[in-house]
Structures are given as structure tokens and as C-alpha cells.
Structure 1
């Protein structure tokens, strides 16, 4: 097929005719395509699936990461080993489109690959690569590792996604009405478009921005002079950049400039919208920030047999299905760790990206209560941890390794590697409790609990991200009641959360699982019902058209 004058290859729904180019650094659409690290990718992947289901006029722009994020392996003593393996994808189509962009004032060749909607049931996606023989070795490495630790390489990746993506859209002849930046990684597209549109007001009409970061320090900043030297600003002088961005110090804040260039922006939960508006309110010329709560694709994630049993009111089949799902997940645990977990035992799962504020090892910090819980023979408990630390986040890797060492002392504790889409789905199916304990209010959304609920896992969480919009205490999940966190030292906050979590586990949650099976089952079902429509990404993808893409 020809990729010139590209049209989305299916009939567009009349509600979604506006042409949208969606830029994201990572996408998690299917296990074989390893171009994601965590929640941002899971969110973007579900968005692409829903855009396809709803027949929206949208294309995804990303990068074809040669080595992915990294492959999580083990050292001889079971601790974490970071490995890099070349990925080969026979299902991607070569578009035949090659063009040059400037990076560091030198031309770099870019090639575009196509993910056909029929392959994984997604919107059409185009993935960019610089790993070409026409480029020198340094230029080839731009697309090697997602979130490369080298600052110059990372800026080059931002240019590849933004400038390269915007130029690809022109090469395709797609002519978007809207350029949607999912996080600020692709902001360099705005400078390319400034050259094209000639003025900032025209740019603003076409640009929208989604922010996922609930604290200012977490937003990407780079040296302004480095960005200029690397051709990030598409030919603008430093003075011109300062004038149009309002950045007068030497740190180029990508999110801040995105908020100044976009027509409208959104946070990814109601709480995150509030946090974002407060966080950026001290800056001038910020666009309006609304909320569109993240969601996940029900058709991809949910266990349909569990839902069918629920809808038919057949509790025997419902219980039997959940037990089967647990057994199947425990086969993976056994294969990786040699631990034989029991499907009749309450199973707590903590699984997501390892980052400090997510507090992976939180339960372990009260050694006495942890030991008491894990050695209780009347109300036994099993715990599974999984997740990927950033490969150079040595504190997070240390936490992972400490949990591995701890697990060696317990038959009922396991730590898994390879936490990607397939394992994520299995662990959510195998969980009775999906544990989520970020330090409030640092989790923008935290969507893993949505897909857990779609598989009959009960959420137990601190009150952050999407959770305030979902959990009805004791009805469809359990939540740690908010304290006056703003007036607490971080150690006080941690102590309050930990003590409250153990109180709830010991006095309410664990006894209920064993002594009130009917109540527990009803909580599972309530969670499955409540998550299905409100937190299905079809709702989210529709809201983007209704609230963000309309002019």
C-alpha cells in the first residue's frame, strides 16, 4: 500500500472525524511489541485500542526501540540483572518513507515503520527508527534504549519523537487537525510546527497536551543551551526561544512550555487535575488544565468468563473461574521461583514500576507485623511482588533485591521478573488483593488497579490518583482514609499509612476473605461492575474528542 496521502484504513465514526496525531514515547499494545516501560505505555496502548474500537480518525506516533526498555533477568543469586536484547518484529511494515531531521546541526536519517490496525486491533501506528546504515553509529543509537540515561541521547530522542513525528505526518500527507502530546517528550514538534504555521496562535489551535506528572520536580528539564546546540528549537535563536517560551533561566522545562504552547491540557485523574492546576498556577500564560481520568481497555484486559459467571449469577462457576485463574498465575510463580502457592490462600500482589514514591517494600517495613501476618496458619496470606526498576535507579534496584533476599526466608513470598503486559495480566488474574500504596499525592493516576478489578482482584490502596473516583469503602474495595498529609512530615505520613494498612488487613480484610466468603465475592463483583464502564478506555478516548480535540 502507499503511505502517501494516508487515510485511516477503516470507516470513521461521524463523532470522531477530526484528524488527530497522537505522540507518545512508549506504547504497550501487545506483549511481542516491547516499546514501553510502565504506566504511560499501558495508558497509550489502551488509548490506541479504544481509538480502533470507536473508529476514531487518529494515528499513533512513537519510536521503534531496538532494545526496548530493557530485559529483566536474574543474577546467580536471583537478584536483578539488566540485560539488553535486540528486538525483531516481522509484523511491522516498512512504509518506504525515509527522511532527514537535524540533530546537533547534522542530518540524521529517519525511517518509518507501520503497525497495521488489524495486527493488534489498534489505531494505525507509525514507529520511527534511526538504526540505519546511512547514519553514523551515534545517530543509530538514538532509538536503541527507551529513556536512555545519557542526557544528550535523551534530548535526541525527544527530537526524534517530536520533530521526526511531525515531519512524518507531513510525509504521510495526513494533515492533522490536532497534535496530541502524551507527556512533553514530543514537545519539539511544536518548534517544527512554528516554522510551518509561522505564528504561535495558529500552533496553539492545533496543540493539546496531557501531563502525567503530579510534582514539579518530576517534569523533564534540560539545559537550554544543550537543547539549542542539539537543534531542538528548529533553527530559532536562544533569544527567540526565550521570547516565545517565557523561559528566562537556563533550564528548559518541557512541561511548562507545553502548557504555554497548548490550547488546552489535561491531568489524568480528578485529583491530578487539581494538583496540576495548583502546581502550575504560579506561572503565567498557562493554558486551561482539565481532567480526563485515565482508563484501560476492557476488551483487552477483562476476563470475560468471570464477567459471564457474574452476570449469570452463578457463584459456583464464578469461584471456580477465579481459582483457575489463580492456579494459572501460580504456575508462572512456580516456574520462576520454585514456590508452590495455594489457590485457596488469600493472595496479595504488588506489581508495577519500581519507583521510590510507590513504596514497593512498604509492608516489610514493620517487620513484626509482617512476620505475624506471613506466619498466620489460621488466616494464611501469600504475597507476590513484581516490577521493573529503571535500569540505573540503584535505590529501586536495591529495594527489588532486598525483597528477593526476603523471599528466600518464606515459602509464601515470591518476587518475579519480566513484568510486562502478559505477566501483568496473569498477576491481576491471580490476585485476591491488588495492593497499591503510593505516597499521597504523588501518583497521578495509577491505572493498574483498574485492570486488576477487571479480573476480580479487590483494590486495597492509599487514596491517590484514580482511587478517590472509584473506591467506595468496603463496597468495591478498601482505601486508607486520608490524613492531614500536608501538615505531616514524610516519616509521619509513612507511619500513619503503614499502621492503618496493617490495622485494616488484620481486623477487616483478611478475616473477611476467610469468614465471609459471600461478602468478599460481592466486593469483587461490585469492583468488576464499577470499573467496567467508568474506567474503560472507550470512555476516555471519547472524552478526548469531546473535551480536548474540539476547537
Structure 2
């Protein structure tokens, strides 16, 4: 197959005919392709799957991580161990395309690989690698580890995604009408396009759109502008030219701020996040409009179709039987990893996602007396599972993970699993009766794990953040901790309020409903299944991207 003058290998409807290149540092397309860390990858993977289902004229641009994010293993005492294993992918096609980009004023060879749409039923995906014998070792390491801890390596990764991705599209002859940056990691593409179109920023703005995922200014990536310049981030522009072009006058290059100034339109990833983003950035001049397109997940990939079939047939006996089968199957993984035998009839709470401080994985355990009483209850027995990957250099998050591991040794109904990737994620969502999500409001831009939990017969129980305000109707399709006046609270007061409300709702509403009125419980879960399918399915999201971003003038 020749990749010159590349076209998406299926015809597109007129409304999806605009050529789009979708840049992302990570894509969670399917379990065997381990080039993702968490929610950003899960989102972009679902986006590519829906682009394929809708036959959109879109290609993905990413990086081929030799060691992935990392492999989560255990030390002798069961605490977290970080392993880096080389990955092999026989299903990726070598495009035969090789080209050079400049990093640190030094030519670096780049090779492009291709994930055929038919392999995993996703839009075409091109992945770049510098792990080539033509490069020196330092250049080879650019595509070794996703989100490398070394600052210079990370800046080089951003250059590779942005400049390398934009140059690949020229090599392919694809000529996108829209360059979509999923997060600001690839904004170096803006400088490449600026040079390509004769130093004309209007031509860049005509083509660039941007999705921001971070609801706090401090959480947006910033790097020393002199380091970026030294590393050839700005495609040969002088620092004075960069400052005039971007409006940045201090020494910190803010990737998101520049993306908002280079794009013609941007979006937040929930209604709440769009509002937070607009108020967060409004003090800066030259910002493009920020809309809201709420994240979603691909129903065809994630949902348990038999649960949906029994729901549509009104066959409660078979629905219950299927849910218990899904729990029993997932509990085999719990037993295999921890030696603990879980009961499919017992109410099962799951907390599983990326470990990060604001997500408060350990919140439910912080009141020791109430937690012990919950775990020992005979009237309303529970069993709890945790899983998730902390960033390998985020030592507070790793400490949270290890603390839960040590705690779990004292309870036969508490388990902490490793290897939280697409495959385990799906099994745990099928195992859950209650999907627990308790980020510190308003830190979660969207959060999508609860969407796929609902698609597998789990009720959401969450603080009122991210996508949850658009979805949960308390007591009808899930459960939500009502917002307090968090702005007047310090962090400790906010955590105490949320913890007390979590237990109050769990003890007074959730557990009695499950055990004493199971027909109503089942209806709550079914309502969630129905609502999530139509509001938070990624075909809706992929359509909105064309409708509101790509086709908008």
C-alpha cells in the first residue's frame, strides 16, 4: 500500500467530509496497543472508534511509545512496582515514510507506522517513532516513555507530536482542512504551520481547533521559554518573534494559552468545564471562543449488549442473572491477584481510575471507625475494589496506592488490583454495583469512567463535578453528593463535608435500596444505562466536533 496522497479508505458523508487531523499524545484504541495512560487516551480512543462508525474524514496522529506508559507490577510486599517492558506490535504497518525534523538544532529521523481502520474498527491512526538506528541514543529515547519525567525529553515529545505530526501530513499529502489538538501537547504544530503558510497567523487560525482538558490554570503545561527555544520548538523563529506572535512576555511558555491564541475555536470537555475555562482564561487577551462539547465513550466497544437486551425486553430475571455472571467473571481476576474470593450477591463498590491527589482514592477510608463498621456490616455487607495507575513519579499518589494495599491486608472484602488498562477497566465496570467517583470539586474537567460503568449495569455515585451535573438525577439514575459552598471552605473542610455526605448517602439511601428494595435499585441502574447511551455516547460527541468545531466558520 502506498501512503503518498493518502485518503481515508472509506467514503464520507458530506457533513463529515472536511479533512481533519486529530493530534493526541495517547490513544486507548484497544487493549493490545499500550500507548495510553488514562482518561485522555480513553477519550481519544472512543473518538477514533466513533469517527470510524460514522465514516468521518478524520485521521489520528500520535506517538508510538516503545515502553508504553509503564507496566504496573508489585514488589514483594504487594506495593506498586514500575516496570518498563518493550512492546511489539505485529498489527502495525510500516508506511515506509521516514523524514527528519529539528530538535535541539539537531536533525532527528522520524518513522511513521499505521494502524489500519479494519484492525480495531477505528479511524486511521498514524504513529511516529524516533527509536531508529539512524538516531543517536538520546534521540531514540524521545518515543520510549509516555510523559517522560525528564523535562527536555518531554519538550522533545511535544515537538515530535506537533511539528512531526504536521510534517507527516505533508509527507502523506493529506492536507487537512482542520488540525485538532486534543490537549495542548501538540501546539508546536502551530509554529510549523505559521512557517509553512508564509508567517501568516491568520492561515494557522483558519485551520486550528483546540480541546482543553484542564480546569485549573496551574495544571496547564508550562516550560521555560529559553529551553523551548534552544530545543527548536519554534521552528526557527527568534525569541522576539515568538513573543510578538504569542503575546507571552515572561519566561514561562504556556502551551494552553498559546493554543487558545492560535486556534479559531476551542472547547472544554463538559458544560461545567466550558464555564470554568471561560472564566479562567478571560483575563488574557486574544483568546479564541471556548465552547463545551461534553466527553463521551463508545457504546459499541464498552457496553454489555446482553444487559441492554434484557433491559429492553423487560426480563429482570435474566438481567439479574447476567449482572451476577459479569461480577463472578470479574471476581476471578480479584481472586487471581489477591487471593480473595468475592461473592457476586454482595454489594460491590469500585473505585478505579488514574491515581491523582485531587481524585481522593482513599477518601472513604479516612474515617477509620465508619470504614471499619461499613466493612464489618452483616445487615448490608459490602466488598470494595480499587485499581488505577499513578504517574510513576507522582510519589504522593503512589503512597496513596500503597497505603490502600497495606490497609487491604486487614480486610477480606477489600482488594487493590494492578494493571488498570482497557481490559481490566471493562471487567471492573462489569463487576461494580456502585461506581465511586469522588474528585475534589471543581478539579475534574469531565471524567468519563462513570459513563462506561453505567453502560455495564453500575450505578454512579459521585461528587458533583465534570460530566456528572449533566447526567445524574439523584435517586433516579445514580447518586450525587450535593455541592456545598466549596469556595468558602479550605481543602480539609471540603474533604470532611464530602466524606460525611458520602457515608450519609451510602448508609441511608444506597445500601438500603440495594438490599431492601432491589427492584427499585435495578430500575435506577437501568435508567442510568438508558440515559448514558443517548447523552454520553461518543457518536454524539464525534458528530458535535464536526458540527460545532470543524465545520464552524
TM-score grouping bracket, smaller chain normalisation: over 0.9
Q: Residues of 2 paired with 1:449 and 1:508: CA distance?
A: 19
Residues 1:84 and 2:89 are matched in the alignment: no
Q: For residue 56 of structure 2, what is the aligned residue in structure 1?
A: 56
Q: Residues of 1 paired with 2:220 and 2:401: CA distance?
A: 25
Corresponding residue SS for 2:479: strand
Runs of 4+ in structure 1 deviating by more than 4 angstroms, as ranges, are none
1:14 offset after TM fit, Å? 1.9
Corresponding residue SS for 2:218: helix
Q: For residue 540 of structure 1, what is the aligned residue in structure 2?
A: 541
Deviations 1:214-257 (A, max 9, x none): 00000000000000000000000000000000000000000000
Q: Residues of 1 paired with 2:122 and 2:484: CA distance?
A: 42
Residues 1:512 and 2:513 are matched in the alignment: yes
Q: For residue 253 of structure 2, what is the aligned residue in structure 1?
A: 252
Corresponding residue SS for 1:252: strand
Unaligned runs of 5+ in 1: none
Corresponding residue SS for 1:350: strand
Q: Residues of 2 paired with 1:381 and 1:333: CA distance?
A: 15
Unaligned runs of 5+ in 2: none
Corresponding residue SS for 1:167: helix
Q: For residue 136 of structure 2, what is the aligned residue in structure 1?
A: 136
Provide TM-score, normalisation by structure 2: 0.99
Corresponding residue SS for 2:134: coil
Q: For residue 30 of structure 2, what is the aligned residue in structure 1?
A: 30
1:295-374, aligned counterparts within 5 Å? 295-374=296-375
Q: For residue 495 of structure 1, what is the aligned residue in structure 2?
A: 496
Q: Residues of 1 paired with 2:447 and 2:20: CA distance?
A: 25
1:84-483, aligned counterparts within 5 Å? 84-198=84-198, 199-483=200-484
1:434 offset after TM fit, Å? 0.1
Q: Residues of 1 paired with 2:377 and 2:337: CA distance?
A: 25
Deviations 1:179-220 (A, max 9, x none): 000000000000000001120011100000000000000000
Q: Residues of 1 paired with 2:280 and 2:415: CA distance?
A: 39
1:15 offset after TM fit, Å? 1.5
Corresponding residue SS for 1:265: strand
1:511 offset after TM fit, Å? 1.0
Q: Residues of 2 paired with 1:269 and 1:77: CA distance?
A: 40
Q: Residues of 1 paired with 2:50 and 2:395: CA distance?
A: 36
1:444 offset after TM fit, Å? 0.3
1:72 offset after TM fit, Å? 0.1
Q: Residues of 2 paired with 1:14 and 1:288: CA distance?
A: 26
1:13 offset after TM fit, Å? 1.7
Corresponding residue SS for 1:383: strand
- How many pairs align? 551
Q: Residues of 2 paired with 1:493 and 1:99: CA distance?
A: 52
Q: Residues of 1 paired with 2:13 and 2:60: CA distance?
A: 18
Q: Residues of 1 paired with 2:165 and 2:534: CA distance?
A: 32
Q: Residues of 2 paired with 1:186 and 1:87: CA distance?
A: 24
Deviations 1:431-481 (A, max 9, x none): 000000000000000100000000000000000000000000100000000
Q: What is the Cα-based RMSD across aligned positions, in Å?
A: 0.4
Q: For residue 4 of structure 1, what is the aligned residue in structure 2?
A: 4
Residues 1:41 and 2:41 are matched in the alignment: yes
Q: For residue 531 of structure 2, what is the aligned residue in structure 1?
A: 530
Corresponding residue SS for 1:31: coil
Corresponding residue SS for 2:176: coil
Corresponding residue SS for 2:28: coil
Provide TM-score, normalisation by structure 1: 1.00
Deviations 1:494-537 (A, max 9, x none): 11100001000011101111000000000010000000011000
Q: Residues of 1 paired with 2:181 and 2:393: CA distance?
A: 26
1:114 offset after TM fit, Å? 0.2
1:76 offset after TM fit, Å? 0.5
Q: Residues of 2 paired with 1:325 and 1:406: CA distance?
A: 27
1:378 offset after TM fit, Å? 1.3
Corresponding residue SS for 1:541: helix
Q: Residues of 1 paired with 2:160 and 2:196: CA distance?
A: 17
1:11 offset after TM fit, Å? 1.5
Corresponding residue SS for 1:209: strand
Q: Residues of 1 paired with 2:530 and 2:271: CA distance?
A: 20
Deviations 1:323-362 (A, max 9, x none): 0000011000000000000000000000000000000000
1:12 offset after TM fit, Å? 1.0
Corresponding residue SS for 2:385: strand
Q: Residues of 1 paired with 2:300 and 2:123: CA distance?
A: 15
Q: Residues of 1 paired with 2:238 and 2:15: CA distance?
A: 42
Q: Residues of 1 paired with 2:27 and 2:16: CA distance?
A: 22
Q: Residues of 2 paired with 1:494 and 1:472: CA distance?
A: 23
